[in-house]
Copies of this chain bind each other. A is one copy, B any other.
Amino acid sequence: MTILAETPTAAPSATEGAVLYAEVQQFYARQMQLLDLNRPQEWAATFTEDASFDVPTLPEPVRGRAGLVAATTRSHAQLEESGQRHRHFMGMLDVRPREDGTVHVRSYAIVYASTIGQDSRVHRVCVCEDVLVRGAGGLLVATRRVTRDDLA
């Protein structure tokens, strides 16, 4: 059911835990906004160089930033062509710092779709399991695995 239970859990202080929780929220807010703003290079830079990205909309997992840029550029072009906008809204972040310095996060991600000139609706309801690592500029996604509630 989950990839997030393997390494021992770290035990940060209450303040360290709160600082990490806010940092993870800010990281995801920025990452998802970059995706929805169609800035694929900056979005891909929030993943590690060799990140693994496994989502149901792709036929197989993508590895590395070039693949991430290609996949999201393609998706965005299709959206534009069909007069749609997507917003990725994450929440319910279960944030688990590990002794090895990684941060495991299991969250919910709702994708909203709007048709310009028409209406807005729920597009997808997803569960997102990430392993985050710390890079020079802050957190980075090392692995992401997304499942969709409407698929078996």
Contacts and interface: CB of A to CB of B under 8 A. Distances in A.
Interface in A75-100: 85, 87-95
Given A23-B18, A112-B125, A94 B150 contact: no
Number of copies of chain A assembled together: 3
A40 to B, nearest CB: 15
A134 interface: no
Interface of A: 1, 14-15, 17-19, 21-23, 25-26, 28-30, 32-33, 37, 85, 87-95, 106-108, 110, 112, 114-125, 127, 148-152
Contacts of A122: 112, 120-122
Given A17-B23, A29-B93, 20 more contacts: A1-B37, A21-B26, A26-B93, A26-B95, A28-B92, A29-B95, A32-B92, A85-B150, A87-B92, A87-B125, A87-B127, A112-B122, A114-B148, A116-B150, A117-B152, A120-B122, A120-B123, A120-B124, A121-B121, A122-B122
